[in-house]
Amino acid sequence: MIKRFVFRDDDIASNTELEWFKPVHELFVSNHKTHTISIICNMFETNKTIIDYIKSTNYWNIQIHGWEHERYGLYDEKRIGEELDMCIEKIESIFGVTPSKWYLPWNGWTPELGSGHELDAMPKIYKVAKLHGLEADINCDHMGHFMRELEEGEMPKTKTVYFHSWNKDDCLMLPHLIDLTEKYCEQYVRSKE
């Protein structure tokens, strides 16, 4: 049974707006939860409003989504490595932290590789990520599906739940997601007593 969840907010970028982002983070703060953000790094330094807000608050886990929101399975190892290095350098220079995870755009799904072969590129991606000090992570579930499983009493298949703070529907579901995971974790604790 999973006893701790990662709440991953994808697509944080140069165009992320504080009016959506701030209330989402305040929900995490009020529930004493870590808000994992997955950053699209190209031009992120231009979003001074979001950067200043992140620097002025707590409960952050800052990670990589990509240099751009691309299908990295189509890239060769050299290009993947170069873009990861640029992402690491950008996050370190802005926030003074070194990311440890790479949450791939579309969770690594690359249909251009052909039906049945969409994830064939993952060994290459895992290898390059590891060489650059990162763990590539595609083991996740969107909050809508994840919540339905919890509501039906199913055991979660992953500990990472992703959502988008730019998506109004995701934002509206977030309090219920946090509540469901709290109840699930309380059940875990009771089962250990």
Quick check: 156 and 149 in contact, CB under 8 A? Answer: yes
Spans of the chain below 50 pLDDT = none
Q: How confident is the model over 171-182, as pLDDT tens digits?
A: 999 999 999 998
Centroid of chain to Cα 190: 29
User: What pLDDT is recorded for position 113?
Assistant: 59
Paired strand residues for 180: none
The three state secondary structure string of 154-185 is CCCCCCEEEECCCCHHHHHHHHHHHHHHHHHH
Residue with tokens 């952050």: 60
Q: How confident is the model over 1-44, as pLDDT tens digits?
A: 556 899 999 999 999 999 999 999 999 999 999 999 999 999 99
Query: Which domains, ranges and CATH numbers included, belong to the chain?
Result: 6-192 (3.20.20.370)
Say what the pTM is.
0.90
Quick check: 143 and 24 in contact, CB under 8 A? Answer: no
- Type of residue at 184: Y
Token pair, residue 79, equals 């290009």
